[in-house]
Amino acid sequence: MQDQQASPSVSPPPLGRSRRTRTRPRTRTTVACDACRARRTRCDSQRPECGYCRTRGLKCHYEQSLPAPTSKVEVELAAIHQRLDYISAMLPCPGQTSFIPDGVVAVGHDQENHHVFTGEEKLPFQLLGTECMMTILGLGPGFAKEIAMLERNASPVGIGNSSRLRLIQQPQALAALAAFSQLVHIWYPILRPGFSERYLDIISGPLTPGPESCMVLLVAAIGTLALQDHELGDASSGNSSELYLEAAMASLPAVVTDRSVEGVQCLVLLSIYHCCLSKPCQAHEYAAMASFKVQNILKHVGISDGELYEHVKRAYWAVLLLESELRVQFDVVDSGIWKHDDQVALPNSRRAWQFDVDAGSPQASTTSPDSTLSADGPRTDRTQSYFLAEIAMRRMLHRCNTAIRRTPRGDIVYAPHIALELELQLDEWYGYLPEPVRFQHLDADMSDSALGHLSVEPLGNFLRVQYYCCKLSIYWPAVYQSIQDGTATPEVLKHCEGFFDAYIQLMPSIVICIRNCIVNRWTLYATIFMTSMAVLQASQHHFLRAGCAVDWSRLMVCLQSTSTVDRRVVEASPSLSLLERTLAQRLAET
């Protein structure tokens, strides 16, 4: 995120600097119409038509009023909405110069501009496919091509004989649905309420090819994969997952031409399935298809479409998050989905599907998977809190995520004042996290054994990983410039110290996260590899070791902890296996 130009007519919500003294955010007492809410403008709430809609001849529609938030979670959710709207309104658009002293231009890595930035200025954990970054880390320019080739040449899945699927047992189907709800849907809550009944009805029927059958079979396939990964499935789980996928792929032609939200959901689920198999390139292909489809739907579905628009909104934000995660490490074409992020209202995951084992099953009390997975799953508030917080994080990363500036002579240098502003805004994001997903920072004196047994809630832990990855990206240019110059000022050394400290905070969480987040495993391990290689490279320079007040023994423990990642995770992908061997070799040489 970039420095912001102050506006005399807009007062921001309480910021991180005054967090200790701020009062609880006040809830809104007026209801805005759908048009004003989408535009994020003040509504006079007149009935039957507000002043804005009346003067422009628009159809004025008010959502059914909800009770004012009274619980702590609801108040904190309202605060996230308020802060996110303010940040979005104040930030410059992509390609626009922000107001920074000394004629500096700060540009995010996704922004279109007239300056060409090389990989040297970008953050380490997002450039696996960049030859420049590979050279900086001592891997050679051919390493990036090898990784890309391994992934792009991965064998396709789901192209077998769909007729192999015969009869689906209800206990097996319910177990897959429960696993999908608890282990997958929490990350991308896209399904409609009442899906449990529809799932059981369709999966016990003839499975006629079409979007609905495809969606149900993909849920069963992903749920079975998750169940097997959770070490609760039997030996036949993997084979069952393949059978479900093959049957689902028979409906792919209908899905591709379908113009409904279900078509988008199917493509998202196909992307998620390949993510669970650590096949990021194939996953991105389906995510890109989903992106184009949901953007087309948005052209014809508006606020006046009520509940349908709500489902399209959730699909849009899920696709945006999924595509953003997959684009991190590869040089792929931008689908343009970010062009709509300031026009599509935030999602309401309280109106998404919640798993109910009793739905549509009179025998559920005897056939439910309660013995293996909890049917309750995360609370609705937790899923909603995570989804909003993740959107806010992605928006920050999209606009700007590294502290650099271009001098009047055209040189690119580290910008400490931008780094401080980025860190302040990151801490403000943290300050508004609701309790269900609020994570804790590790104590500096925490023992190594305590670090090894760290256990946290999965959604909050993933946000914690992103928080410290963002800090690494902020301070990486300080480390890079110091390495290039062979020296550093005390101020820059302090920021290099922040880079190492962020890595120490990151590693215990990301090692746990890679176990719990089956959807993002490939990108998580790629992050482990890139950040660890960057830290190893930086720690070899004596002036950084001497000038930074870092617990170097703790840092080495964190580096060695990378070898504790489950072997099944790295062996699931040839590219991850190569990354694991390369990192192990570099650690052995240290």
Q: What is the pLDDT confidence band of residue 357, given thresholds at 50, 70 and 90? A: low
Mean pLDDT, rounded, for 298-325: 90
Q: What is the pLDDT confidence band of residue 142, given thresholds at 50, 70 and 90? A: confident
Q: What is the pLDDT of residue 133?
A: 73
Q: Would you list the domain boundaries of the chain? A: 26-90, 119-152+401-589, 168-382
Q: What is the pLDDT of residue 100?
A: 28
Residue 27 predicted with pLDDT over 60: no
Residue 52 or 199, more confident: 199
How many Cα atoms sit within 13 Å of 416 on the Cβ side? 11
Residue 555 or 306, more confident: 555
**What percentage of the chain exceeds 70 in pLDDT?**
73
Residue 150 predicted with pLDDT over 90: no
Q: What is the pLDDT of residue 406?
A: 74
Q: To 5 degrees, how large is the angle CA 457–CA 461–CA 465?
A: 175
Q: What is the pLDDT of residue 418?
A: 86
Q: What is the pLDDT confidence band of residue 426, given thresholds at 50, 70 and 90? A: very high
Q: What is the pLDDT of residue 521?
A: 94
Residue 201 predicted with pLDDT over 80: yes
Asked whether the beta carbons of 468 and 505 are under 8 A apart, the reply is yes
- Minimum mean pLDDT among 2-11, 78-87, 306-315, 505-514: which range? 2-11
CATH code linked to domain 26-90: 4.10.240.10
Q: What is the pLDDT of residue 564?
A: 92
What is the CA 442 to chain-centroid distance, rounded? 22
Mean pLDDT, rounded, for 231-260: 79
Q: What is the pLDDT of residue 50?
A: 86
- Minimum mean pLDDT among 103-112, 269-278, 551-560: which range? 103-112
Mean pLDDT, rounded, for 552-571: 92
CB under 8 Å to 302, separation ≥6 — which residues?
A: 309
Residue 322 predicted with pLDDT over 90: yes
Residue 77 predicted with pLDDT over 50: yes
Q: What b/e readout covers 308-324, taking b as 16+ CB neighbours within 10 angstroms?
A: ebbbbbbbbbbbbbbbb
Q: What is the pLDDT of residue 47?
A: 81
**What percentage of the chain exceeds 90 in pLDDT?**
38
Mean pLDDT, rounded, for 398-421: 79
Q: What is the pLDDT confidence band of residue 120, given thresholds at 50, 70 and 90? A: very low
What average pLDDT does the structure give for the chain? Answer: 77
